[in-house]
Amino acid sequence: MPRKTITVIAFLSFFIVISGLSPVFASSQLEVTIDPNSDTAYAKMVYQRSINIDYSDGGNLAETMNGKIEKISFTAISSNPSVQSLIANLNSYFVSQGSQANVSDLSLEYKSTLTGRSTSMSVDYTIVLRPTIENIVIKHGSGNDPTLLDVDWRGFGVLGPVVINTPTYGDVEINLPISSFEKFTPSLALSLKASNAAELLSTRLMDGDEIKAQPIGNWHFLFDPTGIGVDAKQYGFETGTVISSFTMGESSIREGLIREQIHETTFVSDKTYKVTSFESSGNASIDILGFANRDTLGTSEIFGVTPNAPEGYATTSTGEFPAFILYGMAGMAALGGVAIMIISQRKLKKEGKNLKQTGIDPSQLTGVQTSASSGGYQTIRGEARVTGLEDYNEHRSYYDEEKPQVEEKSEDKPSSKRGALPKGFKAEK
C-alpha cells in the first residue's frame, strides 16, 4: 500500500475516533474561579447519585413501594454549627491531599427523593457545596515571575457521616446513601444493612477523587486574551481581564473514554432483589484570572500565573495547540479528501474497461402514441415499445382503450298537460 494512502487512512481514522467520543454529565462536578490577586477561589461542587431497586418479579416491595414518594430538601449556611463541622471536615481532607488551602465560608444544598414505581423504586441524591477557598497562593510573583497556585484541593470531598441539623427534618445525615432509606423506609433499611447491599449503600456521596486523579496535563486548555466582558462581570471582575480555562470530563485521546459508573448487588428478603447504583464520571472547570501554565512542584501539580500571555503566544484553542497547527490539520483534511477522490477515479477507470452495457439497446425502442384525451384533440402522451414485439396488445396503455368521452344522461320527463305555446295559438288544419 502506498505511503500516501496509509497517511490518509490514519488521518481520517483519528478524526472518526474523536467524533465518536462524547461527553457525559457528572456525579461530581466542580466549577471554580480563581483570582490570584485576592488569593481566593469561589467554587461550586455538585455530587449526584441514584440507587435503584428492581422488583419487576413481584414481592413485598412491589406491594409496599408502588406509588410511594418521599423527599428531603433543605439549605444551610455557615452560621449553622453543623455546617461549621462540615467546613472542618473539608479542611482536614485538603490536608490529606497535600494542599495548603482552606475553606473559609460554605453554603449547602441537599435533596434526596424516593420514587416508587410499578416495577422498581429509586432514591436520587443531590448535594451542592459552594465554598470560598483561601490560601491557595504558594508564592506571589511580579512581572514575568509567575504567581504559583495550589491546585491539590480540586477533588475535595468528605469522609464518614456528615450530620446537618435542620429546622424541618431535625438531624439529617447527608453523606451515606443508606441514611435516606432509614428516613423513608426504616424496615427496608434494616434489611439492606444486613445484606450484600450494605457496602454499596455506605459508599460516601461527597467524593471528588476522580477529579483529583485526572492530571491537569490531560485537561483541555482555553486561553482568552480579550477577557470577554460578560464572563468577567458575572464574577465581579473588570472587563479586559485575561482568562485561562482548564476543563476535564470529555472523552478524548488524552483523558481516555469517560464512562458512567454502574455497580450492582443483591439483597434477600421475601425474595432476591437487585440493587443498582448509577453514577456518571466526574468533570471540572477551573477559570483563572491571568495567563496560567500547568507545572509541578515536587509531587504536586500547580499553576504558574502571569497577568498577560508571553509575547507571540498563539494558543487559542484546547490542548495548547498553536494556530498554525490547527490550520495545518485543516489543510491535511482537505488534501486527504482530494487523495481519496483521485484514488476512487483511478479505480473506476480501471474497472470500467471490463464493464459492458446490459439491458435494452435504446436504438431498438419506438415511440407509440397512447392518448386521444377528452375534447377531441391529440395529446403528447406516449410510451416506448421494443421494435418487433408481437404481444404489444398485452401491455398497451390504459389510454389506448376505447371509452366514451362523454357520458349521456337520460331523464324521465314528467307529462305536462299545459304546453309552452302562446295563448290563443291554433294549429292549422
**Residue 172 forms beta bridges with which residues?**
164
| pLDDT at 150 (0 to 100) | 94
pLDDT tens-digit readout, 73-93 = 999 999 999 999 999 999 999
pLDDT of residue 221: 87
Cell of 307: 497577568
212 closest CA partner among 286, 279, 264, 119: 286
What does 45-105 look like in DSSP terms, one character per residue?
A: EEEEEEEEEE-TT-SHHHHHHTT-EEEEEEEEETTSHHHHHHHHHHHHHHHHTT---EEEE
Distance between CA 313 and CA 290 in Å, rounded? 14
pLDDT on residue 75: 97
HEC sequence for 102-164: EEEEEEEEEEEEEEECCCEEEEEEEEEEEEEEECCEEECCECCECEEEECCCCCCCCCCCCEE
> What local confidence, expressed as pLDDT, does residue 243 receive?
86
Of all residues in the chain, the percent with pLDDT exceeding 70 is: 65
For the stretch 157-212, pLDDT in tens is 999 999 999 999 999 999 999 999 999 999 999 999 999 999 999 999 999 988 98
Supply the pTM of this predicted model.
0.65
| pLDDT for the residue 12 | 42
Q: Which residues contact 283 (CB under 8 A, 6 or more apart)?
A: 23, 24, 25, 26, 29, 30, 211, 247, 248, 249, 250
Q: What residues have CB less than 8 Å from 341, skipping those under 6 apart?
A: none
Which residue numbers in the chain have pLDDT < 50?
1, 4-26, 315-321
Q: What is residue 169's predicted lDDT score, i.e. its pLDDT? A: 94
